[in-house]
Amino acid sequence: MMCWFLLPSFGDFPYILVMERENQFIGQSGAFLDAVERASRAAPMRRPVLVIGERGTGKELIAERLHRLSTRWDEPLVVMNCAALPETLIEAELFGHEAGAFTGATRVRAGRFEEADKGTLFLDELGTLSMGAQERLLRAVEYGEVTRIGSSRPTRVDVRIVAATNEDLPAKAERGEFRADLLDRLTFEVITLPPLRVREGDIEVLADYFGRRMAAELGWEGWPGFAPHVAEQLEKYDWPGNVRELRNVVERAIYRWDDWDAPIGHAVFDPFDSPWKPVAPPPRADQAAAPPAAPASSAPDFDSIDDLRAAVDAHERAIVEHALGKHRWNQRQTAKALGLTYDQLRHCIKKHALADDS
């Protein structure tokens, strides 16, 4: 079952919540909605579809959408992560095996193709398939037949293939690392999902959705939202893990926040950041030390500064905001962490009107 909801607008644009069972993808940006529309258009077709996107962009959700909107919606949707199994078992998982076909094969087992007969087979992490598995997959796609390992009798199957990857498969095909003929047969349609960092306006929408849901799960009576400096941090972060990472950051910030009536004042983007985290042991004397990596440049654009006092004030405000959030607005702890007296910190809070933001 699938439901569409038009939810309250942010700015001038409403946003769409598409729910499929317990999964959902949410957004209002043109890039996001174009990908959803392309999936909707391709869904009724019987042809293969390749979904491309970075980790956490929702490739499996698109695959589910392709299945639920197709004529096969009441048939099986079988999911297989090609990277989750060792190479020696991939073919047995895909095509099945007869009893005694190899060590440990004590009984007959149908493969994923047979399980997905009349339905959809979603192959995640397609780029990790071995060349041998690719060759057998090519035959299954081209002729609609699979042969269990240890058998000489092919079985007819009617399966719609949806595959996903975060790799550049055309480049791999040029290097001879992926079969070009298989790529041709799997790319009737290619849906490339945009990363979160280019989905204009969607970070605010997603953060609000995940925040409200987490607050409700924790039994909060209301949703206080995010303090302005945290909302700004969410917008400026690059989100290499995309929507999945955003969800973790938002939910972690809320569960760690104790003042249910105050806007969320601190978010931890790196859960491994700790003064006590393990460090790599120093190299042994017999190992050549690698040259130190050049430090990443984090200097501000000094050429763009035309008001020194305003720039210094903005930098000071950002530091104090972050420290207050980190210490849950405990002003004495914050003052100690910044090397200030309590009165000096109170002066900074008043100077930058930070009390109004909390």
Average pLDDT, stretch 107-113?
A: 87
- pLDDT score recorded for residue 286: 63
Reading the block at residue 127, the tokens are 């780029």
Q: In the predicted model, is pLDDT for residue 232 greater than 50?
A: yes
Instruction: State which of 83-87, 257-261, 340-344, 347-351 shows the largest mean pLDDT.
Output: 257-261
Q: In the predicted model, is pLDDT for residue 12 greater than 70?
A: no
Identify the CATH homologous superfamily for domain 30-192.
P-loop containing nucleotide triphosphate hydrolases (3.40.50.300)
CA 228 to chain CA centroid, nearest Å:
25
Average pLDDT, stretch 8-26?
A: 50
- pLDDT score recorded for residue 299: 53
CA distance 172 to 176: 6
Q: In the predicted model, is pLDDT for residue 126 greater than 70?
A: yes
Look at domain 199-273+309-357 and name its CATH class: mainly alpha
- pLDDT score recorded for residue 86: 82
Per-residue model confidence as pLDDT tens digits over 151-194:
888 899 999 999 999 999 999 999 999 999 999 999 999 999 99
Q: In the predicted model, is pLDDT for residue 50 greater than 80?
A: yes
pTM for the full model? Answer: 0.74
Q: Which residue has the higher pLDDT, 25 or 317?
A: 317
In this prediction, residue 20 has a pLDDT band, given cuts at 50, 70 and 90, of very low
Q: In the predicted model, is pLDDT for residue 5 greater than 50?
A: no
Q: In the predicted model, is pLDDT for residue 70 greater than 90?
A: yes
Alpha carbon of 300 to those of 113, 141, 230, 309, 313: distances in Å?
55, 53, 20, 15, 14
Per-residue model confidence as pLDDT tens digits over 327-351:
767 788 788 888 888 888 888 888 8
Q: In the predicted model, is pLDDT for residue 7 greater than 70?
A: no
Average pLDDT, stretch 7-13?
A: 42
- pLDDT score recorded for residue 71: 95
Q: In the predicted model, is pLDDT for residue 279 greater than 50?
A: yes
Average pLDDT over all residues of the chain: 85
Average pLDDT, stretch 115-140?
A: 93
Q: Which residue has the higher pLDDT, 315 or 217?
A: 217
In this prediction, residue 21 has a pLDDT band, given cuts at 50, 70 and 90, of very low
Per-residue model confidence as pLDDT tens digits over 131-141:
988 998 999 99
Q: Which residue has the higher pLDDT, 356 or 94?
A: 94
Sketch the domain layout of the chain as residue ranges: 30-192, 199-273+309-357
